[in-house]
Amino acid sequence: MTGEPHAAGLHARHKAVIPDWVSLYYRDPIEITHGEGRYVWDATGKRYLDFFGGILTTMTAHALPEVTKAVTEQAGRIIHSSTLYLNRSMVELAERVAHLSGIPDARVFFTTSGTEANDTALLLATAHRRSNQILAMRNSYHGRSFSAVSVTGNRAWSPTTFSPLQTLYVHGGVRSRGPYAHLSDARFIEACVADLEDLLGHTGDVAALIAEPVQGVGGFTSPPDGLYAAFREVLAPRGILWITDEVQTGWGRTGEHFWGWQAHAASGPPDILTFAKGIGNGMSVGGVVARAEVMNCLGANSISTFGGSPVTMAAGLANLSYLLEHDLQGNARRVGGLLLERLRAITASHPLVREVRGRGLMLGIELARPGSDEADPQAAAAVLEAAREGGLLIGKGGGHDTSALRVAPPLSLTVAEAEEGAAILERALHSI
Ligand X SMILES: Cc1ncc(COP(=O)(O)O)c(C=O)c1O
Binding residues for ligand X, rule: CB under 6 A, are 55, 113-115, 118, 141-143, 212, 216-217, 245, 247-248, 276, 286
Q: What is the DSSP string of 39-105?
A: EEEETTS-EEEESSHHHHT--S-BT-HHHHHHHHHHHHH-S---TTS--HHHHHHHHHHHHHH--TT
Give the nearer residue to ligand X in terms of CB position, either 153 or 310. Answer: 153
Q: Which is nearer to ligand X, 53 or 336 (by Cβ)?
A: 53
N-term to C-term CA, the chain: 26
Q: Which of 306, 333, 374 is nearest to 110 (CA)?
A: 306
CB of 416 to ligand X, least distance (A): 29
CA 50 vs. chain centroid, Å, equals 16
CA–CA dist 219, 232 (Å, integer): 24
Work out how close the CB of 214 gets to ligand X at its nearest, in angstroms, rounded to a whole number.
9
Name the closest residue to ligand X (Cβ). Answer: 114
Smallest separation (angstroms) from ligand X to the CB of 212? 5
Least distance in Å: CB of 169 to ligand X?
A: 16
In the DSSP assignment, the letter for residue 397 is E
**Measuring CA to CA, which residue among 360, 428, 343, 336 is closest to residue 389?**
428
> How near is the Cβ of 276 to ligand X at its closest, in Å?
5
Region of residue 317 (left: phi > 0; alpha: psi -120 to 50; beta: else): alpha
Sign of CA dihedral 116, 119, 123, 124: positive
Question: Between residues 361 and 422, which has the closer beta carbon with respect to ligand X?
Answer: 361
Q: Cβ 274 to ligand X, closest distance in Å?
A: 7
Q: Whose Cβ is closer to ligand X: residue 216's or residue 270's?
A: 216
d(CA 391, CA 381): 15
Nearer Cβ to ligand X (118/331): 118
Tell me which amino acid residue 315 is.
A
Closest separation between CB of residue 288 and ligand X, Å?
12
3-state secondary structure of 305: coil
Pick 244 or 347: Cβ nearer ligand X:
244
- Nearer to ligand X by Cβ, of 214 and 428: the residue is 214
